Amino acid sequence: MKTTINTVLAAATAALAIMAVSPAIAKETIPQNQTVRNVVLVHGAFADGTGWRGVYDRLTQQGYRVTIVQNPLTSLEDDVAATRRALAQQDGPTILVGHSWGGTVITEAGIDAKVAGLVYVSALSPDAGETTAQQYEGFAPATEFVLDTRDDGFAYVARDKFKAGFAHDLSDADAAFMANSQVPINLSAFGTKLKNAAWRTKPSWAVIATEDKAFDQAMLLHMAHRINAKVTKVSASHALFMTQPEVVADTIDTAAKTVSQSR
């Protein structure tokens, strides 16, 4: 009797698991007639493309073709060039996504004809003729986001402040790994004026981390509203591209589906 009961319970558990998983898979799979099926992800300063893994996994499971840019972070021009090389690999319309500094990059690179929409993930969005540094003017300073600027003009987030300022919702171990594997950015890039602002001609979405310590919340909302982005807020740190992959991926999916319908 014990064996029989266990067998029945196991079968019931398996059936419930299938019922729970199957609808989600069916709901999330890209429809055959969806025209926008490509996504390019652009990371920000102090990080690299591997932080997008959670977003990448969710989108590829849905059937998207996802490409991740590895920015050199040596200048705006170099990062835009890296993004343009990724866009050149795409076989059709693409959603271009940027986190933090990556928002400046996609704003410049997003005029590419293949870009159908833009997603800003707690990201900067200057206008043409503006610099990234100008976006901070008039807003409260990010006192917990402390930079360690070296003699050559490249900067890191101070290691002893990294978790508090960048990724308080990561485990101590993961935050330490991020802090110790940072990619420094050449701060002169923040003084480079943009030549183009893709958000003026491309539909935009924004995911804003409400516990972001790298930017003043008012600054993030101001930028998102100025570019007429559809805003999603999520309780997260500046590292939301890692800690909230489902929310970020869902926003990208919404952007792709919305643009596909309009096309």
pLDDT for residue 85: 98
pLDDT for residue 136: 98
141: left (phi over 0), alpha (psi -120 to 50) or beta: beta
CATH number of 35-262: 3.40.50.1820
pLDDT one-digit tens code per residue, 66-101: 999 999 999 999 999 999 999 999 999 999 999 999
> Rounded CA gap, 58 and 52, in Å?
10
pLDDT for residue 262: 85
pLDDT for residue 123: 98
Between the CA of residue 237 and those of 24, 169, 199, what are the distances in Å?
A: 27, 6, 25
HEC per residue, 165-183: HHCCCCCHHHHHHHHHCCC
pLDDT for residue 23: 36
Q: What is the mean pLDDT of the chain?
A: 91
> Rounded CA gap, 90 and 40, in Å?
9
3-class DSSP assignment, residue 11 = helix
8-state DSSP, 45: T
pLDDT for residue 17: 39
pLDDT for residue 27: 42
Q: Report residues of the chain scoring pLDDT below 50.
A: 1-27
